[in-house]
Amino acid sequence: MSFRTEHEIHRRRFGRNLGVGLTLVAFIAIVFGLTVVKVTNVGPIQGFDHVVRPELMPAEEGGN
Amino acid sequence: MSDATINHGGTGPRNAASVPAGPGVKEAGFGDYVALLKPRVMSLVVFTALVGLLVAPVGVHPFVGMSAILFIALGAGASGALNMWWDADIDAVMKRTQGRPVPAGLVEPGEALAVGLALSGIAVVMLALASNLLAAGLLAFTIFFYAVVYSMWLKRSTPQNIVIGGAAGAFPPMIGWAVATGGVGIESLLMFAIIFMWTPPHFWALALFMKEDYHKAGVPMLTVTHGRPATRTHILVYTVLLVPFAIGAGFTSIGGPVYLALSAMLNLGFLIGAWRIWRRDEAMAEADGYRVEKQVFRFSLYYLFLHFAAFLVEAALRSPAGGV
């Protein structure tokens, strides 16, 4: 049983809502992707405070 | 759009079925909001910013680069929405712009303003997080320059509007370069200069054969304020001034023999076109339906695209995989 007649305006509003929804999903994906890239490419940091830990640097060979 | 256009409840005098359907319905779809962002301008911004990013001597992670280009494009789109909000009155007068969402009544001016401001903030903050503060600062300045300096101030007050306003369109390759390098170099300044100097002859050629539109809207285009012979002279002068920047870029780290050969041919073609426009008068132009002006306008589009494409070719040849 149909409660409401489907109308052109409903179709446009649905399209608009779908567009906004997909845009938000894409935005979340981009922020997540950027976070992964930044965290994995930033070098010798520890995850809990993002502070550089010299002790995590590879030991220098030789030297004087 | 407005909720007044439809009655959701069944108790009111109008239900959904009673609202007239078809082209007369003033209800914006998602595409109308996308149109606020001037997608065609965005495509040029994406291309030039991408070139600025790819020809830079420093590489960036592909995902960071892609995100940065997206946010640069979003910032450009936001400034387009702000422009449509401010210029709704003259857009409604000009045939070329009458179908835009605000003058067409699909999007309310306040909505265009809100979309423009919100997207500007998102684009600048996200570009800062994705790349660096210089790139984000340049993007913020570009939006400010296009929306405030060009749209609100220069466009209606001086016939030099195109000259100075052209800077807004010239920033994207500089921003792309800044995303990669974190700085500004002679190369990015020359890419800026090429677009900056190219813009006036490109738009004045358009203004010569779209004269009624600008005249009706009262926009002080050079054709209206100084006359058409003066505009023809300006096209030639700016084209001559453009040449050293375009050729000069070929002698920097982003240029090379392929770029120089192509640039020499394109600049010769543009100069000949500008010379032909300068030699003509209105009677000659009217007689053949502005054939030369239209040719030069079309050529100018290829001129810019091919210059930036040549930068990409040179970058590909320099890369370890593309070299010999």
Superfamily for the B35-182 domain = UbiA prenyltransferase (1.10.357.140)
Q: How confident is the model at residue A3 (pLDDT cuts 50, 70, 90)?
A: low
Q: How confident is the model at residue B29 (pLDDT cuts 50, 70, 90)?
A: confident
Q: Is the dihedral of CA B155, B217, B100, B106 positive or negative?
A: positive
Residue B111 CB coordination number (10 Å): 20
**pLDDT, average across residues B34-59:** 93
Chain A's closest residue to B67, CA to CA, is A30
Any domain includes A4:
no
Range of the domain at A47: 27-57
pLDDT at residue A63 above 70? Answer: no
pLDDT digits (tens, 9 = 90+) for A11-48: 888 888 999 999 999 999 999 999 999 888 766 666 56
Query: CB–CB of B16/A13 below 8 Å?
Result: no
pLDDT digits (tens, 9 = 90+) for B137-172: 999 999 999 999 999 998 888 888 888 888 999 999
Residue ranges covered by each domain of chain B: 35-182, 185-213+222-324
- Residue burial B38-49, b: 16+ Cβ < 10 Å; e: rest: beebbebbbbbb
Any domain includes A15:
no
Any domain includes A38:
yes
Chain B's closest residue to A11, CA to CA, is B29
CB contact under 8 A, A4 and B21: no
pLDDT digits (tens, 9 = 90+) for B182-209: 999 999 999 999 999 999 999 999 888 8
The more confident residue out of A8 and B293 is B293
Question: Model ipTM?
Answer: 0.76
- Structural domains in chain A (count): 1
Distance CA B113, CA B155 (A): 18
Give the CA angle between residues B165, B138, B132 to the nearest 5°.
165
CB contact under 8 A, A7 and B19: yes
The more confident residue out of B168 and A64 is B168
Which of B3, B8, B26, B30 is the mutation pick for testing A, counting most A CBs within 10 A? B30
In whole numbers, what is the pLDDT of chain B averaged over residues? 88
Any domain includes A21:
no
CB contact under 8 A, B67 and A30: yes
Any domain includes A37:
yes
